[in-house]
C-alpha cells in the first residue's frame, strides 16, 4: 500500500515495507513464545488491510505481553499502531498498523472467532521467522 488512503482509512506519511515489518512482528511474537503463529495474505480479498498476523497466547497476561512487545519492537522502525483494541483485557488484542493487523488471542477466543476459517481463501505466507506452513 502506498501513502495514499485506502477505503476511507487515514493516509500515512511514509511508505512501509510490509514484508520487513511482518518479519519484525513475527520475530517479536516468537520471542515471546507465541502459540500457533499464522500470517494471512489478504491482498486482493479485502481493501481493509493487506495482511493478518494471528497468534495465541496462553493467558491474558501472555496476550498483553506479546502485544506490548510488538508495539515496542516496531517503534524503532518508525511504526506505531493506527488503532489498538483489547490491550487492557488481554483476551483478544488487535493492533491495526493499516497495512497489516496483528491479532493476539487467548486460545478460547481464537477458537470461537476462527479468523483462519473466515479468511480461508487467503494464502498463508511462509515468512523467514515463521517458516513454512500449510493452510488449515
Going by C-beta distance under 8 Å and a sequence separation of 6 or more, which residues neighbour residue 114? none
Q: Can you read off the three cell numbers belonging to residue 95?
A: 493492533
Radius of gyration of the chain (CA): 14
Per DSSP, what are the bridge partners of residue 96? 83, 101
Give domain status of residue 102, yes or no. yes
Q: What is the pLDDT of residue 131?
A: 45
Number of domains in the chain: 1
- Predicted confidence at residue 5, as pLDDT, reads 41
Q: Would 78 be classed as within a structural domain?
A: yes
Q: What is the pLDDT of residue 16?
A: 64
In a domain, 3, yes or no: no
Cα angle at 48 between 35 and 104, to 5 degrees? 15
Residue 54 sits in a domain of what CATH number?
3.30.460.10
Q: What's the average pLDDT block by block, 10 residues per block, for the chain (136 residues)?
A: 43 62 94 95 94 96 97 95 96 96 96 94 71 40
pTM for this model (two decimals): 0.81
Amino acid at each position: 500500500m502506498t501513502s495514499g488512503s485506502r477505503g476511507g482509512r487515514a493516509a500515512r506519511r511514509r511508505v512501509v515495507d510490509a514484508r520487513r515489518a511482518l518479519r519484525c512482528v513475527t520475530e517479536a511474537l516468537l520471542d515471546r513464545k507465541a502459540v500457533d503463529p499464522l500470517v494471512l495474505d489478504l491482498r486482493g480479498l479485502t481493501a481493509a488491510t493487506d495482511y493478518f498476523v494471528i497468534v495465541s497466547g496462553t493467558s491474558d497476561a501472555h496476550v498483553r505481553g506479546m502485544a506490548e512487545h510488538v508495539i515496542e519492537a516496531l517503534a524503532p522502525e518508525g511504526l506505531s499502531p493506527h488503532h489498538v483494541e483489547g490491550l487492557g483485557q488481554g483476551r483478544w488484542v488487535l493492533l491495526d498498523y493499516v497495512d497489516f493487523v496483528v491479532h493476539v488471542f487467548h486460545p478460547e477466543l481464537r477458537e470461537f472467532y476462527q479468523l483462519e476459517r473466515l479468511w480461508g481463501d487467503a494464502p498463508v505466507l511462509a515468512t523467514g521467522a515463521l517458516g513454512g506452513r500449510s493452510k488449515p
